[in-house]
Chain A
Amino acid sequence: MAMHKSKFFQAAVMVACSVFLAITIMQRAAADKDPNAFNRLLRPVAERNAPPDSDGIHDPAGYGTALLQAPRDAFGVMPKSVSGNYVNWSRAISEEIINPRYVISNPDANAIVLDLNIVREVKGSMPDVVYPHKQHTEWLDCANCHPAIFIPQKGANQISMAAIIMGEKCGVCHGSVAFPITECRRCHSRSKEAVQP
């Protein structure tokens, strides 16, 4: 009987300790409990490219959710980037890591690529923008942008960062699927000093 009691006591101590520890850890894990936590508002690296059942917009109770691929499983082989999907998509194509189809049912059809850079001199102190048709035509058809988004004529397009942020002009893609505007230097890439006489 004494033995039985001591076992019961052990189990009770164990459970109590575990519960206490769990509560402590859960409390500490809530980032806002520590007002001086480092990078309090930044998404932790461990949470990037989360699997569908824990990404917050897929319903974990749905039958299909568990069958869907986790982005991080697909992105392991991809060139890295610092924002968006954390994948450098144009390098993924140029380095032939992926070869997305250009025609639905023909895996061998090649993209019609135009190698033409357009330099846009910008008004402010930022470096000028170099727009490469090459990287864009790897993905897109001329008619995707011309003439609805960009009139194909020099000087005919008013582009501002305000418009881009609101999802117009370059912002139709950059800021929703293509790399976001926080990667300033990927567009603002030609220094003004280099072209001055």
Chain B
Amino acid sequence: MFKQTLKLTFVCAATICVLALHSHFNAAEAEYGDVVMNEFSDAAGMRPVVFPHWFHRIRFRCKVCHGDLGFAFKAGGNNISMLNIIDGKYCGACHDGDVAWSIENCDLCHSGVPNTPTQVHHSTAQTLMTPIEDKGEAESSPSESDN
């Protein structure tokens, strides 16, 4: 009987160990080059937009968006609104249900943590201008950097 208890305890403990370690390693950080855009989102009651550069550059060369579509090389520097997008400008040039999925999938773009300021995640300027914080604090208070 005692042996059985011991066995069960070990199984239980091992499961909890795995879960605890998993939750620890899940406290990760966003991808280099991810752009958070929060020019209008918070005020409109939407989550800020997270634009994954890495995903898009696998499919398009920089020139397509930054040349043909006129995106300036600056986070928050394009005055992108849903009106622009439904008129086929900026994101709307592809996210039209033809080249890429259409704008009714609000939550695929508007997926950021509310109140995250506009920024390029992990940019050198952001890293240098943001003091190193305690990991727990860093998660709850996103950087104020504007780059």
Contacts and interface: CB of A to CB of B under 8 A. Distances in A.
A13 B9 contact: yes
A56 to B, nearest CB: 5
A17 B13 CA distance: 7
B64 A104 contact: yes
Interface residues of B, number: 69
Contacts of B43: none
Interface string A18-44: 100110011001111000000001011
A139 B20 contact: no
Contacts of B31: 49-50, 55, 71, 85
Contact of B124 (A13, A14, A87, A167): A167
B12 A64 contact: no
Interface string A85-100: 1010100000000101
Contacts of A79: none
B113 interface: yes
27 contacts: A10-B5, A13-B9, A22-B20, A30-B24, A43-B29, A44-B25, A46-B25, A54-B28, A56-B30, A57-B50, A58-B30, A59-B114, A63-B107, A64-B106, A67-B108, A68-B52, A68-B108, A84-B33, A87-B54, A100-B57, A102-B61, A139-B62, A139-B63, A140-B66, A144-B66, A171-B125, A180-B124
Interface of A: 6, 10, 13-14, 17-18, 21-22, 25-26, 29-32, 41, 43-44, 46-50, 52, 54-59, 62-65, 67-69, 71, 74-75, 83-85, 87, 89, 98, 100-105, 111, 138-141, 143-144, 165-167, 171-173, 175-177, 180-181
